[in-house]
A and B are shown apart, each in its own frame.
Chain A
């Protein structure tokens, strides 16, 4: 076998800008996502401060609308999704015994597009006002909104959405084609399974958003008439398109978290996941139903009793597979020997919290009752229970759990508990009263309210809770910062007595992940080997040369090109738009015409690494 000597070792910043290594891209996704999480959190705190008392005048009117729009958009697209995609990048290839992802170049491109999309969205703040039509951007409010805020929303989401789509395809192909010998579909860890289904949802849900955003853009920039009733357009079309994307989108967020919870609860109960097959079945079913229920966001639009009822029943049906999951987690706990590490405490707190969000979801599914809940604070409470109480608690669990694998450090457990209690109590204080605010008639997305409606105390409590959550996040940030100290270094590749393949890899994870591709002999492959008295996985191949992809600066340049083009479209400057698109196309052409065969890590190097680990 010949090798190609085109491998250039890059170091420092240049290494990060050109990397196609899924572990590094994962770290960049995580850090990028956490950065936007802080921004979205600050926006949330500003809103809660405005609502701390009736007729407050801190952030009113347009400013408040910008805050609520940017908070929602940032949290969904630029915090929750990238953090989860970061976990997928760091963990999925390791869990299936792969040395890499299927498309390393596209993976890097996806990350840079996400980052520049997020920057583009936030540019609005500095250039005349951010988007103000809600994260749902309902037309015609979005098509007639003055200034360029909504344009930044459209272009920012368009750029990052394309990146997400690439990420989705990448994970699908990685999981289909690159599993280690013996890693059958029904032996895949739940996190890999849920990432797989979430990627399928990305593949089929993002294209409608792409088209919807194009339509919004054409309407704003070129005076098209999709949603303009004066020229025969129909604003409800946007609602359909948005929610055909939007409902699967929330499942894209929650499914990987279901996976995280399954891994963490099972690991720390020292028990195999209860009802693995039904968990997989429930995951796939939820993924399928995700596309059948979008109209439940539109019960009050006036589509009629027949469509409303059909979508109501479909929505309720989702409670069944979700319930299966909850009970499987409960019975994974049952009979186990649970260790209360911080990671596990986050995961265990997820279960009742998410159930509370789930039951309000079933309540919202009844159209006639939803006429009362819809667009009130009840809905705000519901989706924060599933997104914060679900996704964020799960993300924090995953962060504490996989931190040693991703950063080779362990987070401080004492600070971890402080982080947990502040955030968890703060969360319930913030959102539990909001159920009642909604039932007492408070609409959502309002920048103020009059006194004398029984809303004042609960709004006050809610704001105090939000501040506590903010403190919790600060503690997390401190915890991550001090973990840089070598005191927190881990030496073992398996600090939690893990069950899945990622824990079979030494710390730090080698560039090629597995010196020898492992042979998988059952569900929870590492646990299988441990139970059989083996210290490590049985290799499926002898030590040999390992093929690796070359790094490239093109993904970064291409993303910058689309970023520039975005400004051209926003300011109707066609030359700039053309130059930006041109940069993107030239990068594609270069990628196509420059042969890139990757390089090989030689057998001798791998053997040397292996000796180093054993020594």
Chain B
């Protein structure tokens, strides 16, 4: 089958993302990349854990964090992970419109999450929790900001993916691309679960 030939319902492979050597390479390579990303975030978490009580004259985590907003953000991101799962399920059944729809919802949820995060950071800055305030604030913004940067990059990636392939259907060339995006999105989501626990819940408890 030609790389750019549209799948039909009968000839679509069971795992379109791994049907070519290139696809397999991307699949394995991306998993490895996520392994590296895990260490990257682990380093950020380590730094944050080492410095989270060093708030100096700035507000403490307990004073600062508003759990309702963060909980809402968590729900939004978890849901977006679910919608990306639906998108990939649709892809495997060659339901291109359904896949695009689910990915579109994923994108909207991602943007909503980013909006909430910007709102949240803005609030914190007004309470005196600026980037340069203390070791706590620097490590907080770096950790959460790195995650936010990952969400932003994911949104840009998804937009370019959807726009480029809007009317092209699915084929051996673009199926791995959608799949990798979904993998990435799940990873970003998992990192957020850790941020929610380690930064916000532990910050509230003590």
Contact = CB atoms under 8 A, between A and B. Distances in A.
Nearest to A589: B160
Given A225-B138, A228-B135, A204 B25 contact: no
A203 B135 contact: no
Nearest to B54: A232
Given A2-B2, A211-B40, A225-B138, A176 B28 contact: yes
A165 B40 CA distance: 12
Most B CB atoms within 10 A — which of A103, A206, A231? A231
Contacts of B28: 102, 172-173, 176-177
Contacts of A169: 29, 32-33, 36
Classify chain A: how many residues form its interface, as a range: 35 or more
A615 B32 CA distance: 45
B106 interface: no
Nearest to A209: B43
Pick from B29, B35, B136 the residue with the most CB of A within 10 Å: B29
Given A2-B2, A165-B36, A204-B39, A232 B135 contact: yes
Interface stretch (B44-52, B63-71, B96-104): B44-52
B39 A234 contact: no
A233 interface: yes
A595 to B, nearest CB: 7
A407 B24 CA distance: 32
A585 B160 CA distance: 12
Given A177-B28, A224-B131, A231 B56 contact: yes
A225 B4 contact: no
Given A206-B36, A207-B40, A211-B44, A234 B25 contact: no
Nearest to A165: B36
Nearest to A549: B22
B161 interface: yes
B142 A224 contact: yes
A210 B41 CA distance: 11
B3 A222 contact: no
A226 interface: yes
B94 interface: no
A337 interface: no
A428 to B, nearest CB: 38
B21 interface: yes
Interface string A174-190: 00111000000000000
Contacts of B126: none
Q: What DSSP secondary structure best describes chain A's contact surface?
A: helix
Interface residues of B, number: 41
Given A206-B36, A592-B161, A102 B139 contact: no
Which one of B2, B28, B40, B138 has the greatest number of beta carbons of chain A within 10 Å?
Answer: B138
Given A226-B135, A232-B136, A233-B135, A172 B160 contact: no
B132 A103 contact: no
Interface string A586-615: 000100110101000000000000000000
A275 interface: no
Contact of B47 (A2, A173, A226, A585): A226
Contact of B164 (A173, A231, A240, A592): A592
Contacts of A240: 46
Interface string A194-235: 000000000110111011101100110011111010011110
B173 interface: yes
A211 B44 CA distance: 7
Given A165-B36, A224-B142, A234 B135 contact: yes
A206 B43 CA distance: 11
Contacts of A172: 28-29, 32
A285 interface: no
Given A207-B43, A212-B43, A214-B142, A173 B32 contact: yes
B134 interface: yes
A203 B30 CA distance: 12
A237 B32 contact: no
Interface in B162-186: 164, 173, 177
B95 interface: no
A558 to B, nearest CB: 15
Interface string A228-256: 10011110010011001000000000000
Contact of A211 (B32, B35, B47): B47
Nearest to B53: A232
Contact of A207 (B21, B37, B135): B37
Contacts of B6: none
B150 interface: no
A237 B136 CA distance: 13
Contacts of B4: 595, 597
B32 A222 contact: no
A203 B40 contact: no
Interface string A272-292: 000000000000000000000
A342 to B, nearest CB: 37
B33 A232 contact: no
B204 interface: no
Contact of A203 (B36, B54, B156, B160): B36
Nearest to A203: B36
Residue from A211, A219, A232, A585 with most neighbouring chain B CB atoms (10 Å): A232
Q: Which 5 A-B pairs have the closest CB atoms?
A: A232-B54, A232-B135, A207-B40, A224-B138, A102-B25
Given A224-B138, A232-B136, 9 more contacts: A103-B25, A169-B32, A172-B28, A172-B29, A178-B25, A207-B39, A208-B39, A222-B131, A589-B160
26 contacts: A103-B25, A172-B28, A176-B28, A178-B25, A207-B40, A208-B40, A211-B43, A223-B132, A224-B132, A224-B138, A226-B51, A226-B138, A231-B54, A231-B132, A231-B134, A233-B54, A234-B50, A234-B135, A237-B51, A244-B43, A585-B156, A593-B160, A593-B164, A595-B4, A595-B173, A597-B3
Interface of A: 2, 102-103, 165, 169-170, 172-173, 176-178, 203-204, 206-208, 210-212, 214-215, 218-219, 222-226, 228, 231-234, 237, 240-241, 244, 585, 589, 592-593, 595, 597
